[in-house]
Structures are given as structure tokens and as C-alpha cells.
Structure 1
Amino acid sequence: MQNPFRYRVFYTVRQKIVTSAVALALLVWGTVTVVQRVTTPEDRSCAPGVSRPAGSDECVGVATAGNGYAFGREQLKQVADAIGRENATLEDGRYATVALLLPLTSTSPGLREKVLNELQGAFAQQYRANRQNNEVPKIRLLLANTGKDNVHWKTAVDQLKTMTGAPHRLRAVSGIATSSGPVSRAVGELTRAGIAVVGTTITADDIANGPGALRFPGLARVSPTNGDEARALAHFGRVDAAKALLVHDTRTGDHYTDTLKNAFSRLLARSPHESQLFTSDADPNAEGTTANTFRRITHLVCDAGARTVFFAGRHTQLRQFINALGARGCQDLRITVLTGDEASYLGGDPQLDRSALDTGLTVRYAALAHPDAWRARPGYRPPETGGSTAAYEEFVRTLGTVAKAPAGPIGRTALADGQTIIAYDAMATAVRAVREATPPGDHVPPLADVARQWPQVKGSLKVPGASGWICLDNHGNPHNKAVPVVQLTRGAPRFVAMAWPEGEPPAADCLPPRRP
């Protein structure tokens, strides 16, 4: 017997029409939904000016609203919020913008700490500058993210180049923090667009200008070059080249390691020992297989009887090398490792075997800044020139103000790696140029005039930085900048002494000499 319900529902003329109509409606709805999904672009925005590039989950670009967007990084939220509150106090048309260009979403623990510290230092200077005797223009601070390993540098730079007009009035970019190929290209594009750039912790000699080589017109730096760091270490250590050797990375294209290797090679021209080589991973933060190489290199260091080892490489490989030296066979041989400022990352590295430092091994590096460099203590008086205790103490007071409400909080501050100090000084240098370029009666300087200020930042017009005097030569490079020599310990890195590229502090006038 046929089911009467089935007959009534599906086989009457009326129900056939109803069923067909419903089926057609569902088909149309499904088709429209599919077409919309295919033809409507996915919303990849994160915040005004910030989005996720195709194939990436990182939010990159310039946070143009200036309202405290932290790029999804919880550790940056407090300082980003503080920057947003300060920006909100500024009157439209009466400020100039300085952007911080950094890899804000880096996955490297050491670089994440560095980024946080740089934001804190830059904000402290922004806050101070906006309360300096009502000077104009006020300073608006924006964050620009280049992504992990600076892969998306062009996205951020292309945006920055469009922001020189209203409402942003971008007049300088700071936060240029790593000596790498992407950063070099970013600096090149920005400076060719007429935007002044102030490097914080770039030290590579080839991301700089010089006589007959104006590759980056409008670039200024507040950190010494790798060449200057090497010369300062040589003056400090009085190294016997006959008992020294160089360990360096063979991976090319890394401006930091390449130029540090060249600088150390010149110092060791009379060394009887050939260099010991390793090759790091394409990602210098990756562990790779270099730990195995360093285990073998330590045997050769012992065979050579080396007392001093110059190391040209990034911090991950330096940590591996130190750990390997801690287990070396010749522990009766006292060895000093000398290296560049990348060692500052190791102060908080949990993978560093600190017991290695108890095996007759001393690790010292040329720091960019240190909290003890300009503070007198028993047995140490800071140099009379090249910097001042007063300038450093002003930085400490400002940092104390912004660390708490209403300006802050800005998160936990750490000064031992020098990043907060040097970012504060870089921002001070940018502010100096922006204000010196502003004509009387105006509120914003012409764009081109900001980048023209660097040759006059010297003598009585120097920037009295917390890291030391910033006296720029005609090419935007710091003259005889103070280089704190710092030693790794089981605890916090310890300041040892001040060193100078020229062998002694600059004269009181801080005027760079004529160069051939």
C-alpha cells in the first residue's frame, strides 16, 4: 500500500509546484553565496593602515591612526597605549610625525625584547620633547611594522612615502635597528624619497654615507660603525695579534657580520693564524648545525694557543660558540672573546651556559650604551668629554615619569642592553632636526630641510645624548662616539670601561677633523 502522506505531499500538483519553488530558491541562494565568496575579496585588514599580506598572518604596515595599536603583541600593548594617549593630546596641523620602523612582530625572543625597549626609549623622548618649553612642532609618533625578518619592509616603506603631506606630515623615520639587506633597501628608498632617517642600532659600515659615497642622502646614525667598534676594542684591549685569531661567519649578504669581519680582519693583519669559519643558517636566529661546527673549532682554538678570539657573527651563533668554549679541552688556557654589539642580546638568553664563564673564559663586547657608563661610582669617574652624567640622569628622570600614570605605564623597562637608551637618543636627534628645520612662525618644516640638518649637529649644536655626545660628521656618522665595553657575567652584563674609536675621548668642542 502506498504511503498516503507521501502522495499528499509530493504528488499533488500544488505540492510539486511548492517543492520545485523551494528547491529553486535554495539553488539560487547557494549559487549567490558561492559567487559572493569567490568575487568578494577577503577582509585582511587589521587596523587603519595595517593589513595581512597574502599568504601571511602578520599584520604589517603603518598604524596611521596613532591610537595605540600594538600589532597583536601583548608585550607592546602598554607602551603602544601610552603613545596613543600622547598622540591624542596633539592639535591637528601643529605637529610633525616621526615613524618608528621596526620588525614589531618578530618571533625571535631577543629581537622582541629589543623592539619593546626601543619603543619605550622613543616614547620617553617624544613625551619629553612635547614638554620642552612649548617648542614647535609637537611630535607625533607612529609605529610601522616590517614583519618577521623585515620581509615586508616594502609594504611599510611604500606607505610612509605617501604620508609626508596632511594629515600626517611625516618628517623623519627612526627605529632602523638591524644591519641587514632588507633594512638597507628600506633606508635607500626612504632617503631617495627625501625623508630623513635616523638609525638607532645599525652599525654596518656599508649602511652609511662617506666621502664620495652618498648612498643614503639624509641618513644619520647615533651608533658607531662596526669599524669604529673594532678600533675601540683594539685601543681598549691592546691585543697581541700573534696570540689572536678570528672566528667568522661565511654567510654573505649580512651587513653586520660582513663589515665586522672586515674590521676585525684589518686588526689581525699580523696574526699567524688563519681564520676559523662557520656558516650560519639563512635565518640567523635559527639554531641550524653550527653548534657542531663550534665544538670542532674549539679544538683548533686550543691547538693555536689563542688568548684572544675575535668573533664576527650574530648572537645565536655567538651563544653556541660560548657554550662550546665552556666545554673546551684546554681549560687551563685563559681566553677572551671580543665581539660586537650583537652580544647584548645574550644578557637574558636562557640558552646561554653561564657556567662557561667560570672556565677561564671572558666575553666582552662593544655595547652601544650601558646604564653604568656615565654614572660615577667608587673607582670609576666618567670621562669629562664625550658625554655627561647630567644627560644620562635626565634620561632616567624622564623614564621614571613615563613609567607610571598618567603618561604610562609602558611595561617592564630593562636598560642593560642599551636599546632603550640608544632609541631615546635617536629620537632626540630626529626631534632636533625637525625643529631646527622649522621656519620661525611655522608649525611644520619643509620635508627636504629636515634631512639637511645633519652637517650642523656638532660642536655646541651636538645632541647631548644619554649614550654619549652625538656629534655628526658631514656624512651623518657619529664622530668618536663613546663605546662602553661590557662583559657577560652570570648575572646582568657588567660595564668594564669606556673605549673610543680614536683611542681617547673627543675634544670639548666635539668637532670632527677634516678627512681626506
Structure 2
Amino acid sequence: MPNPLRYRVFYTTRQKIVTSTLVLALLAWGAVHAIDRLTTPEDRSCAPGVARPVGGDECVGVSGDGYAFEVPALKDVAKAIAEENGRLKAGEYATVALLLPLTSTSPSMRTKILHEVQGAFAQQYEANNRSNNQVPKIRLVLANTGNGNAHWRPAVDALKAMTGAPHHLRAVSGIATSSTPVRHAVTELTRSGIAVVGTTITADDLTNGPGRKPFPGLARVSPTNSDEADALSHFGRVNAAKAILVHDARDGDHYTDTLKGAFSKLLAKSPYQPQLFTSPKDPTLEGPTANTFRQIAHLLCTTRADTVFFAGRHTQLRQFINALGARGCTHRPFTVLTGDEGSYLGADPQLDRNALGKGLTVRYAALAHPDAWRAAPGRTLPKAGGSTAAYERFRSMMDAVRAEEVGPVELSDGQAIIAYDAMATAVHAIRQATVGGRLPALEDVGLQWPQVTGDLRVRGASGWICLDNHGNPYNKAVPVVELTRDKPRFVQIAWPEGKPPTGECMPPRTP
């Protein structure tokens, strides 16, 4: 028998109307919701001034408000920067940005970045609190270019928009890797009239020079690869007849390309052709190069060479050292000489430190080292080119910012020292360009570099920074550092010119 409620409740005319109305309402709501999802842009913001680019998960942009770009190690120092910025009043400060790949996935690069941020903050703290109330005050912001500097464009565009009020951006520091994306970033910034101070860029083709000015307003506080090579040659007095070059065959890396060129000149009379390897497109990856280095180590055993010049990035350098540690001719001693990428290996857990005790000596041209300007038994400090007083001032600033809880501070890799000096150079130029207490015009900051010399030099913790007319440091001190089983050991200061600069520290005339 049919259910009598079936017709009275579910199929009455009234129920049909109610049911139809509900169904239509649900369909309309769904359509509106779908259209809203399709037409409303996805919220990709991370923090004020920071967002995830379309197709990416990294937070890219600029922040001076304590945002750490989701990098836990940067949390403490980012907070300290924000607190220092918060003490500044509108109109009394100029902004300096620290442009770095803050979200790099490379552990060694993240360590380097942390130390650079700490060093830059130490100089901001000094400029605002220990400089006799000089003006303008300095606001520091962090600018993230993303892993491998892949998102340099949005970061640079954000910085270009900050030159007016309320930010008054007047300089960009950081610029830590000699890579193609960094070259593009420096080109765009300097083309827009923004002064740039490189920290650890050493590539010879990331410079201005006689008759060429691709980066107007660029200054650097680190020696070029050619200067590093010259300093190593003066330090070691290498016999080219017993030396060989091992270099990366991958083109397009400005660091390795120019270091290879500099080493090739030194070894022009070597009887051996260079040994080649090809790193991955991302040289922080392991790739297959460890296999190549095993073969190169075997070939080295068949030569009379006792000195190896290595032109490559730190990941491949570590693989090469490990391969030499396992070489078949451990009775043969070898010395490996390389550029400043060697500074990454002091904290590399994959480095075979036992290899360093098997007749293998690894030395690199560092950009800075905490022992370079500290007196020690049996060591005579140079009378020019730097000073203990300048380094101790840096140490006092690092002690001061430790009180601000910036996280663990480590100085042995030199990154905090060189970032402090780069920031000091930016502050020096901003204040030299300041007239009558008014903030300097944007372009005036980069015009100061030719006068950063003589008595107007920057007395850096890494050594004197005496710039030539093109913004390059003249005869900058190059600490030669040796990797050991324990920690990097300072050996001696070397000089591109073979000896320290005179007390005048005036670059010679160039064409």
C-alpha cells in the first residue's frame, strides 16, 4: 500500500515549490562562490611589503618591521633591526637595504646570510648610537631576492619605489654573490641612480673601470678575483712549473670565470693543461662532479705538480678536497689555493677533515678574518692597510648587539666583518653627501666614491677601504686562511701589490 505521507508531504505543490526554491538558491550560491573564486585575486601576501610571486612559495620583498621571511635563524636579528628602526622619527633617517637571497635553500649560504645581517645591524647600531649624533640616522631593511636570486626583479622594483618619503632609500648593500641575477639587479639599481655597495662580490666583470661604467654608483669593499690571485702569488711565490689549474668548465658564473682567468695568467708557464669539471647549473647541488674529482685526484698523482689552483664554487671545492684525501699517493703533499669561496667550508659538515691531515694543505684568500688585525706572539702587524683599533671597534659593536639578542654570533668566516664594513661605507657616503642637515639627493650618494680615499678612507674592520675613481678598493688586505681539522686558521695578510699601501692610501693614476 502506498505511503499516505508520500503525497501529502514530499510531493505536494507547496513542497515542490519549496524544494525548487532551495535547489535554485544553492545553485545560485555555488555559482556566485565559483565566480568570486575565479575573479578575486589569490591573497599571496606574507607581510607588509612582502608576497609570494605567482608560481612560487618564497616570500619576496622588503621589510624592516621584524619579518624574518620565514627563516627561523633570522628571527632574532630581524626583531632587533625592527626595534632599532622603531626608535627613529620620520624625516630624520635615510634607509639602507640589505639585498640578499634570504630564503636560500643552501645551508652554507644561509649561514653566510645570517652573519652578514648581523654585521650590517652592528654598523646600523653604531651609526645611530655611537657616532656623536651624526645625521642622518640610518634605517635598515632586509630585501629578499629568493633562492638563487631568482626573484631579484620584484625585490629591486620594491626598492626603486622606496627612494621617496617615508623611506628615503639612499643605498643598497649586500649584493653577496657574483652571479648573473645579481649582475642584473646591480644594473637595474645603479641605472635608477641608487648607490650600491657590494659585500662579497669579487668577479672582475662586476666592476667599473677606465673607459667603462656599466654600474654607475657601484662601490665594493672586497678585492677582485684578480687581486686575490695576485695576493696569493705574492704570498706563496708559486713555481708555475710545479703548479696546475683545476677549474669549472661551466660558463656564465662570474666568480668562477674571472677567478679562472686570473689563475690562468699566473700559471701561463705551467707545463700542464688545466683539469676540467662541470658543475650543475645550481652549483650548490652535489651533481656528478665527485666522480670527476676522483679521476682528477688520480691524474694529479702522476704529475710533478705540488700546487693546485682551484677555480670553482664551495660545494665542488669540498668534493675536490675529499677526493684528494682519498688519493692513492698520500705520500705526495699537495697545497690547494683558491678564492674566498673557501670560507664556506669552515662549517661544512660534509668536509672530510681527516683529509686535511694527510699531506694536504688548503688555503684560500679570505675577505676578512677575526685574527688578521689582532696582535699575537710571533706576528708583526702591518703598519698600514688596517689597524687593531678599527677591528676592536667592530668587536665592541658586536658585543653591543649581542645584548640586543641577535642570535649566536660567529666571526671566523669573515662574513659579519665584511658586511659591517660595507654598511659602514654606505653610511660614510650618505653622510658625506648630506649638506645642511638635509637628506642628500639620491644620485649624490654614489658620487662620493672617488673621495673615499686618503684621510677620508673607511677604516674598516677588514682593513682600510680606499676606493679608486671607479669604486674599487685599492690594494685591499687579503687574509690568507688555512682550513684545519678544527676551524679555519689565519696564516698571514697578503697584498695585491705585494706590500701594504702607504699611509696616504691614495690609488695610483690610471688611464
TM range (shorter): over 0.9
> In the aligned structure 2, how far is the partner of 1:55 from the partner of 1:474?
43
- Which residue of structure 1 lines up, in the alignment, with residue 432 of structure 2? 436
TM-fit CA distance, 1:306: 1.1
Shift of 1:96: 0.3
Counterpart of 1:456 in structure 2 is 451
Q: Is the 8 A contact 1:375 1:381 kept in 2?
A: no
Are 1:97 and 2:92 an aligned pair? Answer: no
Task: Specify the alignment match of 1:488 in structure 2.
Answer: 483
Which one-letter code corresponds to 2:451 in the other structure?
Q
Tell whether 2:182 aligns with 1:173: no
Aligned residue for 1:311, secondary structure, equals strand
- State the secondary structure of the residue aligned to 1:485: strand
- CA contact 1:78–1:411 (8 Å) conserved in 2: yes
What is the Cα deviation at residue 381 of structure 1?
Answer: 2.5
Residue 304 (structure 2) pairs with residue 308 (structure 1): no
For 1:453 and 1:6, how far apart are their aligned partners in 2? Answer: 91
What CA distance in whole angstroms lies between the structure 2 residues aligned with 1:86 and 1:2? 82
Describe the SS at the equivalent of 1:304.
coil
Q: Please show how residues 114-263 of structure 1 align to structure 2 within 5 Å.
A: 114-131=112-129, 132-263=131-262
Q: Distance in 2 between matches of 1:177 and 1:284?
A: 15
In structure 2, C-alpha distance between the alignment counterparts of 1:374 and 1:319, rounded to whole Å: 28
Aligned to 1:32: 32
- Structure 1 position 161, deviation (Å): 1.1
Q: Secondary structure at the match of 1:142?
A: strand
* CA RMSD between the two structures: 0.7
Match of 1:416 in 2: 412
Shift of 1:398: 0.6
Q: Counterparts of 1:256-335 in structure 2 under 5 Å?
A: 256-335=255-334
Contact 2:193 2:442 in 1 (8 A): yes
Mapped to 2, the partners of 1:471 and 1:4 lie a distance apart of 101
**1:495, distance to aligned residue in structure 2 (A):** 0.2
In 2, Cα distance between equivalents of 1:501 and 1:372: 19
Question: Which letter does structure 1 place at the counterpart of 2:453?
Answer: K
2:4 aligned residue: 4
Residues 135 and 437 in structure 2, CA contact (< 8 A), matched pair in contact too: no
1:61 aligned residue? 61
Structure 2 distance, partners of 1:37, 1:4, is: 45
Tell me the TM-score normalised to structure 1 length.
0.98
Residue aligned with 2:302, SS: helix
Tell me if structure 2 keeps the 8 A contact 1:104–1:148.
Answer: yes
Paired letter, 1:247 = V
Partner SS, residue 301 of structure 2: helix
2: CA distance between counterparts of 1:348 and 1:4? 83
Q: Is the 8 A contact 2:234 2:496 kept in 1?
A: yes
The SS at the match of 1:303 is coil
Ranges in structure 1 where 5+ consecutive residues have no aligned partner = none
1:433 shift after superposition: 0.3
User: Does the aligned pair in 2 maintain the 1:9–1:15 contact within 8 Å?
Assistant: yes
Mapped contact 1:208–1:219 kept (Cα < 8 A)? yes
Q: CA shift at 1:3, angstroms?
A: 2.4
Deviation of 1:515 (Å): 2.1
Q: Assess if the C-alpha contact under 8 Å between 1:10 and 1:19 holds in 2.
A: no
Contact 1:100-1:143 at 8 Å conserved across structures: yes
Secondary structure of residue in 2 paired with 1:422: helix
One-letter amino acid of the structure 1 residue matched with residue 191 of structure 2: R
**Percent identical:** 72
1:71 paired to 2:84: no
Q: Distance in 2 between matches of 1:5 and 1:409?
A: 75
Paired letter, 1:106: S
Runs of 4 or more above 6 Å deviation: none
- TM-score normalised by the chain length of structure 2: 0.99
Q: Is the 8 A contact 1:221 1:477 kept in 2?
A: yes
C-alpha distance in 2, partners of 1:320/1:160? 38
Give the deviation of 1:8 after TM superposition: 2.7
Cα shift at 1:461:
0.3
Q: Deviations over 1:122-175 (max 9, x none)?
A: 000000001211110000001100000000001111111111111110000000
Query: Following the alignment from structure 1 to structure 2, what is the Cα–Cα distance between the partners of residues 319 and 372?
Result: 24
Could you say which residue in structure 1 is the equivalent of 2:352? 353
2:510 equivalent to 1:511: no
**Does the 8 Å contact 1:44/1:51 carry over to 2?**
yes
Report the Cα offset of residue 5 of structure 1.
3.3
For the residue of structure 1 that corresponds to 2:223, the secondary structure is coil
Give how far 1:514 is off: 1.0
For the 8 Å contact 2:434–2:440, the answer to whether it is kept is yes
The answer to whether the 8 Å contact 1:323/1:356 transfers is: yes
Give yes or no for contact 1:305–1:333 (8 Å, CA) kept in 2: no
Unaligned runs of 5+ in 2: none
Equivalent of 1:499 in 479, 494, 500: 494
In 2, distance between residues paired with 1:184 and 1:53? 21
- For 1:113, the equivalent position in structure 2 comes to 111
Pairing of 1:390-405 with structure 2 (within 5 A): 390-404=389-403
Residue-by-residue CA offset, 1:151-200 (whole Å, 9 max, x unaligned): 00011111111111111100000001000000011001100110000000
Letter in 2 for 1:425: D
Deviations 1:461-509 (CA, angstroms, capped at 9, x unpaired)? 0000000000000000000000000000011100001100000111011
Question: Tell me, what secondary structure is at the counterpart of 2:28?
Answer: helix
- Deviation at 1:302? 1.0
Query: For residues 100 and 414 of structure 1, what CA distance do their matches in structure 2 show?
Result: 19
Match of 1:50 in 2: 50
Q: How many residues align?
A: 510
CA shift at 1:441, angstroms?
A: 3.2
1:271-318 Cα deviation digits (max 9, x unpaired): 000000000000100100000000000111111121100000000000
Provide the secondary structure at the position in 2 that maps to 1:97: strand
Contact 2:136–2:437 (CA<8 Å) still a contact in 1?
no
- Counterpart of 2:68 in 1: which secondary structure? coil
Q: Is residue 315–residue 343 contact of structure 1 (8 Å, CA) maintained in 2? A: yes
Q: Specify the code of the residue in structure 2 equivalent to 1:31.
A: A
Cα distance in 2, alignment partners of residues 8 and 303 from structure 1 = 101
Amino acid at match of 2:310: F
On the 8 A contact 1:62/1:143 being kept in 2, the answer is yes
Give the Cα separation in 1 of the matches to 2:437 and 2:276: 59
Q: Secondary structure at the match of 1:247?
A: strand
Q: CA deviation at 1:16?
A: 1.1
